[in-house]
Chain A
Amino acid sequence: MGAFGRFFKNINKNAAMLIMVLPATLWFIFFSYLPMAGMVIAFKEYRYSRDGFLASIIESKWVGLQNFKFLFSTNDAYIITRNTVVYNIFFIVLGLVIAVAMAIMLAEITNKRLAKVYQTGMFLPYFLSWVIVGYFVFSFLSLDRGVVNQVAGWFGIDPVNWYSDPTYWPIIIVVVFLWKSVGYNSVIYLAAIMGIDKSLYEAAMIDGANKWQQIRNITIPMLTPLITILTLLAIGKIFYADFGLFYQVPRDSGTLYSVTNVIDTYVYRGLKSTGEIGMSTAAGLYQSLIGFVLVITSNGIVRKFNKDNALF
């Protein structure tokens, strides 16, 4: 039997399984792999052709690296990269510290029923969309009706036009991010703490270790693998920003772009408002490539130290 015959025999033997993977495979082709191929647009001057998608791509003129040259010759490339990366660094560090601290507190609180209530409360923001969060923030920051300006008024402080003054937005963005994410991250860490073998704590008690020593020498070391994996994932995504956070919460206010424009919002605006298809595809490719390199590198580094903590 030739190679062909063997191949068909294998297909036949695995037919049921192949049928099972077919729907999602088609989905991946259309929504993941064709877009990857579509990235050639970054090297073209994209013109929509009436003859459809393929014709548009083929008939568009090659321009080499021109889109990238334009992108990096503007100040925008620097601003969106800086904003994306710096915000993410703050998100990763603060998010990790606060979520782990919150999980340890929830685990140590003696009244378990109240701890459960707190946990449920903290989990709520995870379930809300950024549109809703945008409304919440607006109820605090609205120029004439918002709570913050009202309270400032009691102390004789002039109202601030929050949505047109970029000064405070780096803090607002970080606070809103933490508000939305700390709850669900601490839920993950709490589940891990609950899974720690309690005989470890018993042994430590017999040795006379106090609470803080137990937390430092048992709880935190036992959480380290999970912390490493989650941080690794986050570092791999350091070139990606949460579109909703940077678009909905500042209400797409143009005067705030210097501190709220990130790669994702830039790409979106290039596509929908300014129509710079080639340049925004180039920005997207830049994001995907660096993100890919980052996740591979950070995973490689972790692998070197401890294989079990690596993602793949």
Chain B
Amino acid sequence: MSAQTTKGRDFHRLTTAWNIAFHAVAGIFALLCVFPFLFVTIISFTDETTLARNGYQLFPEKWSVEAYTYLFKAGDQLLRSYGVTIMVTVIGTVIGVVFTALFAYAISRHSFKYRNFFAFFAFFTMLFNGGLVPTYIIVTQLLGLKDSIWALILPLAVNAFYIMILRTFFSTMVPDAIIESGKIDGAGEFGIFFKLVLPLSLPGLATIGLFSTLGYWNDWFNALLYINTPNLVPLQSMLMRIENSMQFIMQNSQNASLSVGVLQSMPQDTSRMAMVVLATGPIVFAYPFFQRYFIQGLTVGAVKE
């Protein structure tokens, strides 16, 4: 995908008609992929009564920021959920990257006698798993994590796929000579790993870190399984719980002035869509800058060692 390849392709052009057709198909599909987000954003800025009368419209008669002002007034649940999501994402990504990198590095080293055993130990979990019910029972009854923040963090911390990606990365990108030179300098295995290998592996770690960040940010399944207390409900899960009513947000709002009477007049539909925008916004604006890491990870992951 370098500039060189692009330039080299000039000699082999399409006819104009096909070029236009390809532009049309690819362009329209790309637009369809982005459109729902734009549409939901427009809905969130629509006046609630206009919306009740006309339905969801691309060009609403009357615009309004009521949904957002309402959310900032009554939104302690929103804020709390944001906090939970950020905390879970940060802690989870750090733990995940550290665990994954250590394991992947060890099984990438030929000097590690048990590397094949541990590689298989991880790989086998990609082929076979215990399923939802035993996992649920172990997390709740053995580990006792129900209604604990760790139930949102630990189940997503490690996965064999990321280990395979990172192992490929370590064994192709980190030359043995560097490790040998570290040994000659008298560094221990951990010294070599932290001082020599990690600095060279930042792109690989970034890839895993971003996959992990995305996974935590978008997770609602673990909250659906393990979380009941409103204090620990992450963003995506909150969006799910308010799907049919804004009751959830009202019940858990400490702002007493916003009581039942307000329930009828508050911007329900637009507020829900505003929350969708607030939950998705960071991703939509950040991903174009990070997408190359995802592409790298997806392509490395699709090719075996």
List, in ascending order, chain B residues with CB within 8 A of A56's CB: 137, 141
Q: Are A34 and B103 in contact (CB under 8 A)?
A: no
Interface assignment of A84: CB less than 8 Å from any CB of chain B:
no
Q: Are B113 and A32 in contact (CB under 8 A)?
A: no
Q: Are B239 and A188 in contact (CB under 8 A)?
A: no
Q: Are A205 and B12 in contact (CB under 8 A)?
A: yes
**In the complex, how many residues of chain A place their beta carbon closer than 8 angstroms to a beta carbon of chain B?**
111
Number of residue pairs spanning A and B whose beta carbons lie under 8 angstroms apart: 300
Which segment, of A69-77, A138-146, A165-173, faces chain B? A138-146
List, in ascending order, chain A residues with CB within 8 A of B294's CB: 123, 126, 184, 187
Give the distance in Å from the alpha carbon of A248 to the alpha carbon of B109 in the complex: 43
Interface assignment of B73: CB less than 8 Å from any CB of chain A:
no
Interface assignment of B18: CB less than 8 Å from any CB of chain A:
yes
Interface assignment of A86: CB less than 8 Å from any CB of chain B:
no
List, in ascending order, chain B residues with CB within 8 A of A150's CB: 55-57
**In the complex, how many residues of chain B place their beta carbon closer than 8 angstroms to a beta carbon of chain A?**
107
What mask results when residues 278 to 301 of chain B are scored 1 for a CB within 8 Å of chain A, else 0? 011001100110010011001100
Q: B38: shortest Cβ distance to chain A, in Å?
A: 10
Give the distance in Å from the alpha carbon of A121 to the alpha carbon of B28 in the complex: 10
Q: Are B122 and A121 in contact (CB under 8 A)?
A: no
Q: Are A183 and B122 in contact (CB under 8 A)?
A: no
CB < 8 Å: which of A39, A130, A187 contacts B130?
A39
Give the distance in Å from the alpha carbon of A129 to the alpha carbon of B240 in the complex: 11
Q: A93: shortest Cβ distance to chain B, in Å?
A: 18
Q: Are B214 and A127 in contact (CB under 8 A)?
A: yes
A136: nearest residue on chain B (CB-CB)?
B36
Give the distance in Å from the alpha carbon of A56 to the alpha carbon of B34 in the complex: 50
A299: nearest residue on chain B (CB-CB)?
B127
Known A24-B158, A48-B141; judge A139-B36 contact (CB<8 A).
yes
Q: Are B127 and A24 in contact (CB under 8 A)?
A: no
What mask results when residues 83 to 118 of chain A are scored 1 for a CB within 8 Å of chain B, else 0? 000000000000000000010011011111011011
Q: B142: shortest Cβ distance to chain A, in Å?
A: 4
Q: Are A183 and B137 in contact (CB under 8 A)?
A: no
A126: nearest residue on chain B (CB-CB)?
B294
Give the distance in Å from the alpha carbon of A150 to the alpha carbon of B55 in the complex: 8
What mask results when residues 1 to 42 of chain A are scored 1 for a CB within 8 Å of chain B, else 0? 000000000100110111011011101101111111111010
Q: B122: shortest Cβ distance to chain A, in Å?
A: 6
Q: Are B30 and A35 in contact (CB under 8 A)?
A: no
Interface assignment of B121: CB less than 8 Å from any CB of chain A:
yes
Q: Are A36 and B128 in contact (CB under 8 A)?
A: yes
Q: Are A112 and B125 in contact (CB under 8 A)?
A: no
List, in ascending order, chain A residues with CB within 8 A of B23's CB: 109, 111, 114
Q: Are B273 and A135 in contact (CB under 8 A)?
A: yes
What is the interface of chain A mostly: helix, strand, loop, or mixed?
A: helix
List, in ascending order, chain A residues with CB within 8 A of B288's CB: 120
Give the distance in Å from the alpha carbon of A67 to the alpha carbon of B127 in the complex: 24
Interface assignment of A277: CB less than 8 Å from any CB of chain B:
yes
Interface assignment of A177: CB less than 8 Å from any CB of chain B:
no
Interface residues of A in 129-158 (CB under 8 A from B): 129-136, 139-140, 142, 144-147, 149-150
List, in ascending order, chain B residues with CB within 8 A of A133's CB: 36
Give the distance in Å from the alpha carbon of A21 to the alpha carbon of B121 in the complex: 11
Interface assignment of B74: CB less than 8 Å from any CB of chain A:
no
CB < 8 Å: which of A130, A145, A182, A194 contacts B5?
A194
A14: nearest residue on chain B (CB-CB)?
B113
What mask results when residues 173 to 186 of chain A are scored 1 for a CB within 8 Å of chain B, else 0? 00000010011100
Q: Are A31 and B287 in contact (CB under 8 A)?
A: no
What mask results when residues 196 to 228 of chain A are scored 1 for a CB within 8 Å of chain B, else 0? 001001100100000100100000000000100
Q: B169: shortest Cβ distance to chain A, in Å?
A: 16
Give the distance in Å from the alpha carbon of A27 to the alpha carbon of B160 in the complex: 11
Interface assignment of B51: CB less than 8 Å from any CB of chain A:
yes
Q: A87: shortest Cβ distance to chain B, in Å?
A: 19
Q: Are A281 and B135 in contact (CB under 8 A)?
A: no
Give the distance in Å from the alpha carbon of A20 to the alpha carbon of B166 in the complex: 14
Q: Are B131 and A288 in contact (CB under 8 A)?
A: yes
10 residue pairs A–B, Cβ–Cβ below 8 Å = A17-B106, A34-B138, A102-B26, A108-B18, A109-B19, A128-B280, A132-B279, A135-B273, A226-B302, A287-B131
Chain A interface (Cβ < 8 Å from any Cβ of B): 10, 13-14, 16-18, 20-21, 23-25, 27-28, 30-39, 41, 46, 48, 52-54, 56, 102, 105-106, 108-112, 114-115, 117-136, 139-140, 142, 144-147, 149-150, 179, 182-184, 187-188, 191-192, 194, 198, 201-202, 205, 211, 214, 226, 229-230, 236, 243-244, 248, 251, 264, 267-268, 270-272, 277, 280-281, 284-285, 287-288, 291-292, 295-296, 311-312
Q: Which 6 A-B pairs have the closest CB atoms?
A: A35-B130, A284-B131, A38-B134, A121-B30, A16-B189, A129-B218
